[in-house]
Structure 1
Amino acid sequence: MKLIKTKGLVISFLKYRETSIIVRIFTRDLGLKSYIVNGVRSKGPKSKMAFYQPLTQLDLIVYDKEGTSLNRISEVKLAKAYERIPFDFQRSSIAMFMGEVLGKSIYEGYQNDEFYDFIAYSLELLDDESVVLVHFPLVFLWESSKFLGFAPNDAISFFNELTDESYHPGQMKAEMDYLDLLIEKSFACTQKVHAMHRKKLLDHFLMFYSKHLESSFEWKSVKVLRQLLE
């Protein structure tokens, strides 16, 4: 068993017994790992439960034993304190959606330090007061699909994957133009786009992810997200 120093991003946790949790953390160096943390849900000022909320960024020293599905954390510190995400409904809702996307997209043992760095960068932007929030979830989905290995080259390729032979490109020209804009500008996009096109493109992205992840799961955070895209 080795002790490893790494950065980590909390994906989710499950309650375990009376006061413990099993937490899934996307670590920069070891990939997605599960850790059991004892006594963390006990009441009192020394509780460290705040460390294990989704998308919290941590500095960690963890035990790592090959072939073990559950490891333990030796030391944990907060790596980044958000200024706006926990206190702003729009930002916290987008963060919740990001967490759900990651929870559905990455699997135990998946390691990609470049993807980790991109997520950390995205959260830094989301916490910045100047970011344009209405485009943010869609840009995150597009950019993440590159790291996950299924991003097409352009908007036409994206829509061709989702449609059959009866599809006519003119039917979705506005959404295609919007996606091309996001591909070009990424998080720097500030152009105004009608809410209908933003919502339609979100629906297309959810279909796109479900297809590539080979699952028809329910997206729990999307209902609130659609309200933000209005």
Structure 2
Amino acid sequence: MAGTFRTYKGHGIVLHSLKYGDSSMVVHLLTDVRGRQSYMVQGVRSGRGRGSKLALFQPLFALEFEGLDSTRQQMHRFKEVQSGIILQHIPFDVRRSTIALFMAEVLYRLVRESEPDPLLFDFVWESVGALDTLDEGVANFHLWFLVNLSRFLGFFPGNRYRADDWFDIREGQYVSLRPSHPMAMEPAMARLLNDFVECDVRCLAEIGLNRGQRSAFLEALLSYYGYHLDAIHAVQSVRILQEVF
């Protein structure tokens, strides 16, 4: 029986976890070596495991692991698992943990492939580290993440921005004239889109937005995503995000 298992090492980002039975859980990860995968974790909800394993599987937590792959079982398992990034702020700051919950759910809903995507994985892994360590501009982080995630999902803005442009959501292009259809960002939103495209994550505080502007731009981004990927509408944590920011 033991010979049917293959081991492999990898890094992963927790997207979602679900209770399974009395003491186990199913954890969905975005991994560097296997793309999106599901893992069965046994005994994690027992009194013995509560203080150790359970804490690892929070939304957007980064892991290092040794996995077990078997042709006899549909889900992978862990031989060993530990933190991949020691988080200093996300678990203890409601703003960061709210953004982490949103980011994890967006990835859970939108990234379905079981093939590895190194560029996407590296972007997400580095984003976790940036969210945890960012000194200023945290309130803009989810907007920066959505704008730049679109690069890896296939609908990143396809041309250069010019002053007073509109943004045609259907075509994924900045345009000088208002499109004839309603799927467009007005010039103020198009300028913000370009600001987040060009902004280094460490400089997010330089994009000065109030609560209303932040909410309006998030709605514009969700419309942009929704045109290309309908699954964005299933993201429930948007409401929590809007309450905090």
What TM-score comes out, normalization by structure 2 length? 0.83
Structure 2: gaps (5+ residues): 172-177
Report deviation, 1:68.
Answer: 5.2
Instruction: Report if aligned partners of 1:40, 1:49 keep a CA contact under 8 Å in 2.
Output: yes
**CA separation of 1:178 and 1:77: change in aligned 2, threshold 3 A:** same
Report deviation, 1:164.
Answer: 6.3
Structure 1: gaps (5+ residues): none
1:225 aligns with 2:241: yes
The one of 168, 179, 197 equivalent to 1:159 is: 168
Could you say which residue in structure 2 is the equivalent of 1:137? Answer: 142
Could you say which residue in structure 2 is the equivalent of 1:173? Answer: 187
- Aligned pairs for 1:52-67 (under 5 A) are 52-65=57-70
Equivalent residue letter for 1:159: D
Q: How far apart are the structure 1 equivalents of 2:183 and 2:62?
A: 44
- Aligned pairs for 1:30-41 (under 5 A) are 30-41=34-45
The one of 5, 9, 14 equivalent to 1:5 is: 9
Larger displacement relative to structure 2 (160-169 or 25-34)? 160-169
Could you say which residue in structure 1 is the equivalent of 2:229? Answer: 213
Could you say which residue in structure 1 is the equivalent of 2:151? Answer: 146
The one of 175, 195, 207 equivalent to 1:191 is: 207
Report deviation, 1:177.
Answer: 1.2
Report deviation, 1:193.
Answer: 2.7
Report deviation, 1:208.
Answer: 2.0
CA offsets, 1:16-75, max 9 Å, x none?
111111111111111111111111100136641111111111111001246953111111
Q: How far apart are the structure 1 equivalents of 2:24 and 2:72?
A: 22
Could you say which residue in structure 1 is the equivalent of 2:28? Answer: 24
Report deviation, 1:167.
Answer: 4.3
1:127 aligns with 2:132: yes
- Aligned pairs for 1:40-51 (under 5 A) are 40-44=44-48, 47-51=52-56
What TM-score comes out, normalization by structure 1 length? 0.88
**CA separation of 1:172 and 1:78: change in aligned 2, threshold 3 A:** same
The one of 188, 202, 205 equivalent to 2:218 is: 202
The one of 118, 123, 126 equivalent to 1:118 is: 123
In the alignment of these two chains, the number of paired residues is 228
SS in 2 for 1:61: strand
Equivalent residue letter for 2:186: M
Instruction: Report if aligned partners of 1:199, 1:226 keep a CA contact under 8 Å in 2.
Output: yes
Name the % identity: 31
Equivalent residue letter for 1:60: F
CA offsets, 1:193-212, max 9 Å, x none?
34333212211211222222
1:73 aligns with 2:87: no
Q: 4+ residue runs of structure 1 moved beyond 6 angstroms? A: none
Q: How far apart are the structure 2 equivalents of 1:126 and 1:36?
A: 28
The one of 94, 97, 100 equivalent to 2:105 is: 100
Report deviation, 1:186.
Answer: 4.0
Instruction: Report if aligned partners of 2:106, 2:232 keep a CA contact under 8 Å in 1.
Output: no
